[in-house]
Each structure stands twice: as C-alpha cells, then as structure tokens.
Structure 1
Amino acid sequence: MIDLSLCMIVRDERGLLPAALRSVAGLVREMVVVDTGSRDGTPEVAAAHGARVVAFPWNDDFSAARNVSLELATSAWILVLDADEVLAPRDHAALSALLSGEPALYQLVQTTYTTASGVFGYLPNQLGVPEAEGYPGYFESSLVRLFPREARFRFQGLIHEHCVDLRGELQPVPTGLRLHHYGKVALDERQRRRKMELYLALSERKAEVVGGSTPWYELGMQLWEVGRFGEAEQAFTRSLETAKRPGRILCAKGSLLLHVRRTEEALELFRRAEHAEPEEPLPLLLQSSALLELGRTAECVPLLRRLAARTPKDFQVFNNLGVLQLATNEPERAMVSLEKALKLGGAQEHVLLNLGLAAIDLGRFAELEDLRQRMLQSHPRSLRLYELWGGRLLSRGRTELLGRVFPDLPDCDDPMVRCLRGLQRLREGKQVEARAEFQKALASNPEHPLAASLLAAAGGTST
C-alpha cells in the first residue's frame, strides 16, 4: 500500500460517503474525515469504513475545513475527495505511479454528471466506463486533488476552493485521471436546495470580498442555475472587467442572454468571444445557434462548414446543421445530419426532439414512435416533445395523428399537454371536456399561442 492519505470534509453525507470510501480502499494508507456538523450519522458511517473522524465546527469557509484535514494527515502524499465523488479502481495504478516522481500539484478531472443538456460546458457522455452509465452528459473541471503533504500546499477560497503552493513555485500538472462526481444527480430536492443556498451565499461573499474575474464568473454560473438571470448577467459583466482571457465568460454571458431570448445581444457577445480567442470553436458553435434562433439561415452555412472541418466529432455541429436543414425544408438531409449527431452525442434531448421533427416532416411515424420511446426512457420528465412535436403536427394540419403520436398523454398542467388532450376529446366528440381542457391551458398560461384560438374554435370562452 502506498504512503497516501485520503482527506475529506463531510456533512450529512451518509448516503453517498460509503461509495467514495470504497473507491479508494486498498489504495490509501489512511482515511481522514473532517465532519463539519452532520446530524444523519455520517461520522459513524465513516468510522465503520475505517476512517479517522474529527469534528470541526462549520465556519462558512470550505478552505478552513479542508486545511484541517491536511494537518491531520500523516502520509507523504494526500488525495482529496468529496463524499459525492469516486475514483475508479482501474485508475489506482496510474495514480500510484505519479507518486514516485518529484513533488507536484496534480490535477484530476472532476467529471460532474448531469441530466441537463442545457448546462453551459455540457459534454455528451461517451466515456464508456461503468461509473458513467445512465447519465446523458457531464461537465468537467480540472482540480488539484493530489499533492505532497507539505505545509506550503494549502487550500484557499471560501468556496470553489483550490489548492495552491504558498511559495508560488509549483504550478498544477494535468493527469487526465477522472473523479466521477454525482452531486448533481444523487441528491434529493431538499438536499439540493440546501446545498445551493449555502453555495450561493458563500459565492456572493467571495465575489464581494475577494473580487476578481473568477469569483464573479462562478457567482454568475450559480445565479443562472437558480434562475436569477438578471443578477447572473451582472455577475458576468463584473467578471469581464478584469478577465485576462474573456472568451469563455463572453460565451457564458451570451448563452444566458440566448436562454432569455435576447438573441441579438447574445450573437454580439459570441462574436466578441471569437475575436478574443479565434482558436476556440465554441464561439462559432454558439453563433450558429443564435443565427438559427433569428432565422438567419444563410449566415449559418459558412459557420457550420468551418465547424464541421475543425470539430468533425462535435455532435452539436451536426445538430445545428440538422436544424438548419429543417428550416430550409430539407428533411431528408436533416435526418442524416441529426442521426450523425445522435451517433456522436448519444440520446441528447434536443437531438431526439429534432429527429422527431424530421420524422414528422417525412411522414415516418414508425420512427417517430421509436424516438418517443427513447425520449420517455432517457428524459422522462421532459415535456418539450409535446410542445415541439404537437406544434409541428398542428402546423401541418395533421390533427388526426395526435392520438397515434401521443397515445398516453401525461397527467399534468402543462398548457400544450392540455391543448393536445382537448383536441383528442374533440375528435371523440366530447365538446364539453375539450373546452374544459382548453380553459385550463389558458388559465395556466394566458399567453399560450394555441389555447385561446382552440377554445374559441370549440365554442368556448375564457373564464
């Protein structure tokens, strides 16, 4: 066994902690767990797995707790894990080999799994490893998590803390080894909300007290995640004021504006990002998305050609190409592009949805049923297929196909689902029930583009 200490800080992590500890069993010589106030039996779980557990009162400073764990370690090297992370056993040998060299601040790739394909920095899951199974995508952060036990290596930052060399002699060294991070997918709603509130409060304090580009960027991302879009925009603006490489921040701010339908402003930010970092493909991809939103398809063509040449394995490029071909009434070509996007990126929600639109345009309803089943399996909570596919069928005047395409509508208050159910009731001759569905849709969203017209056509009035 190598001379390596595992150092962790935890609080109320009894559900996730065992997997983290088991993932390094046989690799580390000791496990040091600093508990910052658990009330769910986490310390007992840690001790049962052989960890040395020490209590440390929470003081709103992640680095302070981290550094206590470092001071308690006794091995020559330190590995830092969070309770919602695991290290794959197959990577033990590669990690061990690193410890025979000179002192270094080794970066591991925190691979945060997510079901939200709209997350900025999202990557489709093509890792092909057991730890990644069942998750459509992830995003990455390179973090220093492996380093010698020396007093000069300490964590800094109230939140989003990072390990630094206090002498300033060593810089981080990438390793490519992954930490599989399940924090976005393993917590229940109460745990997620509590964690987000804590992180947001500390991020706000860090940005105000410490300042600088990175803390304001981190705050912007967290504000975006909780839906505080105006404040997120302001945080990104503050981040840009001192950014040395503004490209990614411009892309993040532009993506936020694209999300809230300020598309022209978003497009300008993406162009600024391209000018700032012309070697990066992301600004081009985001420009193509904005141009598609604006219906400026002619301007999209050269962008997508450049992207396809530079990033031939990027599923987003082929998804956008498929959207462009749908917009220019080329559904056959769109189907080819979107199937390539599906092959490259897996069952991403928006790719499946766009494939469904192409299938509707081509009248391939057997394929559409296969896509519907994949949507329900991969994205069971998504309601977008009813809005997009239902809207496409209605725009094509194919209301007789609604029952075939949507044989079992979910029981929910989504206005489009209400409209589709109402149309099915009309086809069954149930006028009163149909009007009731349209009225509920209108009550849910008074500005829904279909609800009012369908209600009027059914001989009803809004209440």
Structure 2
Amino acid sequence: MGVSAAMIVKDSERCIARCLDSIVNAVDEIVIVDTGSEDATIAIVNQYIQKHPHIKLYHFKWIDDFAAARNYSLEQVTHEWVFVVDSDDVLPSKEQTKVRSYIQRQKEVGQEAVFDIIYDNTVAGEIVEVIPVGYVRLFPAHLRYMDRIHEQISYGDIPRLSSDIHLLHDGYDVNIVDLKAKKKRNIDLLIASLQSNQGNARLWLHLAREMSVLDVPKALRYLDIAESKTSNPDLLQLIRNERTAIS
C-alpha cells in the first residue's frame, strides 16, 4: 500500500527544489501539476524527473478554481493514499518516515481515515504560528476537494484523526511574498464562490480572515454573516476566535 504526494504549482522557482528534496524519499510517487508557470519551475522539475523517475509532471489550465486543480492532481496518482503538499511547504527530515507509518497503521486496523497534519507557519525561518487542526493533508486517494478557494477535502463519514506530522510553510512570510496581492486574489475567488453558495459560513469566515489585512470593519461584518449562517459549535468558536484576533 503506497502513498503519492500531490501538489499544484505555479511560478514556484523560489521553493520547489526545497520542497521536492524534503519529500522525495518520504513517498512512493510525486505528482506535480503545473497551472501555468512562466518562470523556471518546469525546468527545475524536469531536472528532478531525470534523477527520480517517481516524480511526474502534468499540466492543468488554471480556471480560478483550486479544488478543480487539486482534483486533477488526485486523478493522476497511482497509489491508494495521497499526501498533499504545496511548493512552499517543507517536510522536516525527522517527519519523513511518519507519512508511511500512519498509512501502515491504518492498513493494520483495516480502516480508512483522513489525517490533519500540524502546520507550522514560518517567518524568516522561525516558526511564528502552529496550527494543529484544520489541514487534512493525508487521506485515501479516491477522495476529492470542494470549494474553489480555501478548498477542503470531502470525506463524508470517514474518521478524521490528528497526526504528529509537521509541515513548515513560509507562504505568508511578508519578506518573500506579496501578502496583499495574495489576499486580493483569495478575496476575489471567495466572492465568486459565495455568489452561488451564500449559505456557506466557512467561506464567509475565510473571507473575513482575508479581508482583515485590508479592511477590519468589513471583515467584522463578514464575521457577523458567518455567525448567522451556522449552528456548528466548532465553526462558531472559530468565528469568535477570529473576531477576538482582529478586533
């Protein structure tokens, strides 16, 4: 029972090699889906493919839909389990044996599961935020994503379990990422998603989080809307936490 890593990339020359180095021995296959890179990303990936035949490159035309791109990557994997990473993630060396160990454990108990990983956001190489729940990144490969932005895996009645797998992520480091441009892109996609799904409290929460960098009063209004759209206690707590953080 093997595991495939799956990632979608675009203009990732800054970090793609670092990411690949960290996962190349942790999984049995790496599926990379490029969504329109104009920098050296593809050239770098091809260099890795020459050395590592289990790395595979595919292309997907970007249609402003992260779930669609993610799902295309999942369609290409050939193993029963998938470990989703982004090009600005790094799997630390001490974590690299854990991916297969969790899969082996589920094989022994004869049960499918989806696993949250621990997401460590870094700035200038230092961990500034640790998020233990909310990022399902290890799961059976037959599952699929929903929502065009802040996409989530749809897992139905499959148990959701915690893991102690850490991923380092520097995609919100203001020293290397244009955070306002990233926020604006995300806001545009969230607004487009909400046009056809206005009852989705989770999307309103994400819109508030993105907007908080640009317009706090507007972000607070979006939190009010999010709170009015759900009775889920876990989601309500996240909304309250966000309100406290930005007020």
Give TM-score scaled by structure 1 length.
Answer: 0.47
Aligned to 2:194: 207
SS at match of 1:14: coil
Deviations 1:224-269 (A, max 9, x none): 02x2122111100101102322233223224433xxxxxxxxxxxx
The amino acid that maps onto 2:17 is: P
Q: Which has the higher helix share?
A: 1
Greater share of strand: 2
Structure-2 separation of matches of 1:224 and 1:4? 37
The structure 2 residue matched to 1:232, chosen from 205, 219, 224, is 219
Q: Which has the larger radius of gyration?
A: 1
- Of 169, 183, 207, which residue of structure 1 is paired with 2:171? 183
CA contact (8 A) 2:4 2:78 kept: yes
Q: Which residue of 1 aligns with 2:208?
A: 220
Q: Please, what is the CA RMSD of the aligned residues? A: 2.0
1:205 deviates by: 2.1
SS in 2 for 1:49: helix
- Distance in 1 of aligned mates of 2:157 and 2:36: 35
1:106 to 109, 112, 115: 115
1 CA distance for matches of 2:153 and 2:66? 12
In structure 2, the CA distance between the partners of 1:73 and 1:255, relative to structure 1 (3 Å rule), is: closer
Aligned mates of 2:191, 2:68 — CA distance in 1: 18
Structure 1 residues 42 and 187: alpha-carbon distance in aligned structure 2, compared to 1, 3 A threshold: farther
Does 2:161 correspond to 1:173?
yes
- Answer yes or no: is 1:64 the counterpart of 2:68: yes
Aligned partner of residue 75 in structure 1, secondary structure: coil
Q: Which residue of 2 aligns with 1:137?
A: 128
- Corresponding residue for residue 89 of structure 2: 85
Residues 37-61 of structure 1, C-alpha deviations (whole Å, 9 max, x = no match)? 1100211212212231111110010
CA deviation profile, 1:12-70 (whole Å, cap 9, x unmatched): 01111111111012122221111111100211212212231111110010000001111
Which amino acid in the other structure matches residue 71 of structure 1?
A: E
Paired AA for residue 110 in structure 1: Y
Query: Residues 112 and 139 of structure 1 are in contact (CA less than 8 Å); yes or no, is this contact kept in structure 2?
Result: yes
The one-letter amino acid of 1:217's match is: L
Aligned runs of 1:22-37 on 2, under 5 Å? 22-37=21-36
Q: Which runs of 5+ in 2 are unaligned?
A: 50-54
Single out whichever of 70-79 and 208-217 deviates more from structure 2.
Answer: 208-217
How many residues are aligned here?
232
Rounded to whole Å, the distance in 1 between the matches of 2:58 and 2:245 is 43
Give CA-to-partner distance per residue, 1:274-328, whole Å, 9 cap, x none.
Answer: xxxxxxxxxxxxxxxxxxxxxxxxxxxxxxxxxxxxxxxxxxxxxxxxxxxxxxx
Render the CA deviation track for 1:143-191: whole Å, top value 9, x for unaligned.
Answer: 11112222xx1011111111122xx2303211121111110127635x4
* Kept after mapping to 2: 8 A contact 1:7/1:33: yes
Q: Is the 8 A contact 1:5 1:28 kept in 2?
A: yes
- The residue type paired with residue 105 of structure 1 is V
Checking the alignment, whether the CA contact within 8 Å between 1:110 and 1:181 is kept in structure 2 is yes
Q: 2:147 aligns with which of 129, 150, 157?
A: 157
Distance 2:39 2:27 in 1: 26
Give the SS at the match of 1:155.
Answer: strand
Distance 1:173 1:228, change over 3 A: same
Q: 1:66 touches 1:155 (CA, 8 Å); kept in 2?
A: yes
Matching of residues 24-423 of structure 1 within 5 Å: 24-50=23-49, 51-100=55-104, 101=106, 102-114=111-123, 134-135=125-126, 137-140=128-131, 141-150=133-142, 153-165=143-155, 168-185=156-173, 188=176, 191-211=178-198, 212-225=200-213, 227-243=214-230, 244-245=232-233, 246-257=236-247
Match of 1:17? 16
2-structure distance, mates of 1:175, 1:136: 19
Contact 2:123–2:174 at 8 Å: present in 1 too? no
Give the number of the structure with larger relative contact order, counting CA–CA contacts within 8 Å between residues 6 or more apart.
2
TM-score for both structures, normalised by structure 2: 0.86
Q: Secondary structure at the match of 1:235?
A: helix
- The ranges of structure 1 where at least 4 consecutive aligned residues each deviate by more than 4 angstroms after the TM superposition are none
Residue 404 of structure 1 corresponds to none
Cα distance, 1:83 vs structure 2: 0.6
